[in-house]
Structure 1
């Protein structure tokens, strides 16, 4: 490809991204972003994407949020599925690397895909958009905007694997599967620095590198104000919320395979449906969610 054709292709990608972001954005330039590939849109019975979208239908005050969801597709199959569902879709070029199969946790291709995601999300910030990034193994049971802070002094609100009780404590183990971030010079600098460490992080995923940046004092040097999200509301399989009346999202973290995530998330959905049928006064906790499939997935 000639230099001119390459420049034209890059410009076309930028134009497509600007259009996709504008179409999905709220009035205050905030977008919900999720990234999918073929493995996440196909399944024998129900795919991960199906389950993710089901949660918007089943959740409280979540249906309209789909209008602000941008699905970033890393292969043709997931892009076609997205268009079929009439969602906001963006086909991400991946420089000849194929990300169409299930990338098992911490495999080489998994790590590559996470870094490609980081690069892309940094570009979104540079276009002036705030966003919630969400993995598709996160159930949206209530509208998270009602729990997140709109204080402009808070740059990043990020989920944790286990919450230590203090939303400002940097000892909370962060999880990049769900977070809300503001577009400003500080966050753009963070993403530039974060991605710049890709080649010096062999054996680490992007989340590990961000955690190292946090504990290296870089957040403070950049002047970033970060809030860590309470697992009572932003729950996950690492540390379940026991309060079904309070829970907002449920993340299938601490789990290795797509099939295991789907199995155990379906159990959460069953509990949620039972709660919705019963009324608040009768049920206030989840059932005995043991996440057996996810526990067994580590032996595969």
Structure 2
């Protein structure tokens, strides 16, 4: 009888052990199906991208449907438009315009002309998405360009040529950043370029695969990996990864810490914390190749990829000096004899290391108007 009692207690113990294990397994399954780690940022959960930013269309659709922190409702039809514009590796070139920049004979015209005048880059226009921030700009864009997107901004009128750091200017650049975050969430890399930048050669040859973000500079110290370089986010590339989606989310959130300011200055303020806390890798582009009126003395036509009308206030001044730069480029690349090219380039030299003439209206405070 004692043996039977011991066996009975043993079988009861086994049953209780089996029941406890079963309950634990059921509980684990329920927890696994009800959510992820609460510490993971929502933006990092939604972008299922590879290290080089290439994702399948199915993954992009999943990102669209599950993004908790994105502004999906603010960017209607963007997901349908991006595949028509993107390169094979899911990269989109983005620029933005208002009515003043998009009207005939304004900046959008010069921007497009530079692709035609550049060295074997005309095909890149097929991958440019022009973001229009008012209805008139959208109308002008559709008259000259195949890929236009109307970004509706209800907070204020952005159609005029807004001066640097004006209220409308600041609103425009932050709206631009919000759209760029959405592009990353959809699984696309982007190269943003201000419309007051002329393109001469293919910039993608200078964008390394290891960096999360590659940006132009107002001032370049010679070391492309040095965070002390002063970035100019009028021209920058970001590949779509979990980290970069979170980077733009934090970048936009930092606006509340530094009001009122535009996104370029705030990125400069937080770039060290993004590198330290998020592991963001930033690469800075040499102003000798990605030039601008701020450091024109470093620019070399033989290496030039772009020319930016930075350090320049006033739409008329930008148009005048960008037209002059485009004419100098056309002269430099023409089959004219070296002597003629030297004479016409304003002292740039007849060899293949010609420089640019000094801007007539941009670059110094006394030429603002």
Instruction: Name the TM-score, length of structure 2 as normaliser.
Output: 0.73
* 1:191 has 2:248 as partner: yes
State whether structure 2 residue 356 is matched by structure 1 residue 290: no
Tell me whether 183-192 or 236-245 shows the greater mean CA deviation.
Answer: 236-245
User: Hey, which bits of structure 1, 4+ residues long, moved more than 6 A?
Assistant: none
Structure having the higher Rg: 2
Of residues 275-284 and 174-183 in structure 1, the stretch that sits farther from structure 2 once superposed is 275-284
Name 1:170's counterpart in structure 2.
Answer: 227
Q: Which residue of 1 aligns with 2:97?
A: 36
Question: Of residues 88, 100, 109 in structure 2, which corresponds to 1:50?
Answer: 109
List per-residue Cα deviations over 1:14-72 (Å, max 9, x = no partner). Answer: 451012211100111100000001010125xx211100000011001110001000001
* 1:105-150 per-position Cα deviation (integer Å, ceiling 9, x unaligned): 011111111111111111111111101000001100111112222x
Change (3 A) 1:120 1:14: closer
Coordinate RMSD, CA, aligned: 1.9
SS in 2 for 1:161: strand
User: What runs of 5+ residues in structure 2 fail to find an aligned partner?
Assistant: 1-70, 339-349
For residue 201 of structure 2, what is the aligned residue in structure 1? 142
Matches within 5 A, 1:29-178: 29-42=90-103, 46-149=105-208, 151=209, 153-178=210-235
Alignment of 1:17 with 2:78, yes or no, is yes
CA distance in 1, matches of 2:148, 2:80: 10
Task: Looking at secondary structure, tell me which structure has more helix per residue.
Answer: 2
- Pick closer, same or farther for the CA change 1:144–1:259 going to 2, 3 Å: same
What does 1:126-275 correspond to in 2, within 5 Å? 126-149=185-208, 151=209, 153-215=210-272, 217-240=273-296, 241-275=298-332
The CA distance in 1 between the partners of 2:274 and 2:337, in whole Å, is: 46
User: Where does the alignment leave 5 or more consecutive residues of structure 1 unmatched?
Assistant: 1-9
Residue 162 of structure 2 aligns to a residue whose secondary structure is: coil
Distance change in 2, residues 1:15/1:205 (3 Å): closer
